[in-house]
Structure 1
Amino acid sequence: MQHVFKVLAKINKLVLPSFTRKRLDLAKASKFQLALIGWRYFVTTRALGQ
């Protein structure tokens, strides 16, 4: 199952925007942006096996 999350993490890196490079303020982020951040966090932690 961890292999699936590693592939998803690579797809996320290619497709989804990086909010850290854009210096997004989390207090001003929209619900959609917060959902994307949560999704990326979920996939990344599962890909690392934690």
Structure 2
Amino acid sequence: MDRLLSIAIALAGTVAGLLLATGHVADVAAPLIVALAAVVGWRLQHRGPRTEP
């Protein structure tokens, strides 16, 4: 699952970069939102338990 999520994040970033390069600036929002949501979800999922000092 981690590998699949990493691939999805990389693909969304690549699509956003290609859309920027071709001048479709308005179309970049969706892939960037997907990539950011995936990163946030991944970070929340892999956050270690908090320990009190």
The TM-score, its normalising length taken from structure 2, stands at 0.48
- The answer for the alignment partner of 2:30 in structure 1 is 35
| Runs of 4+ off more than 3 Å | none
Greater helix share, 1 or 2?
Answer: 2
Of residues 31, 38, 44 in structure 1, which corresponds to 2:39? 44
Task: Write out aligned runs for 1:17-32 (5 A).
Answer: 17=14, 19=17, 29-30=25-26, 32=27
Aligned partners of 2:28, 2:34: CA distance in 1, in Å?
Answer: 10
Runs of at least 5 residues in structure 2 that lack an aligned partner in the other structure: 46-53
Runs of at least 5 residues in structure 1 that lack an aligned partner in the other structure: none
Residue-pair matches, total: 37
Aligned partners of 1:45, 1:29: CA distance in 2, in Å?
Answer: 23
Aligned partners of 1:43, 1:36: CA distance in 2, in Å?
Answer: 10
Deviation, 1:29, is: 2.0
Look at both structures and tell me which one has the larger radius of gyration over its CA atoms: 2
Deviations 1:7-29 (A, max 9, x none): 31x1122x33164xx8x5xxx82
Identity of aligned residues (%): 14
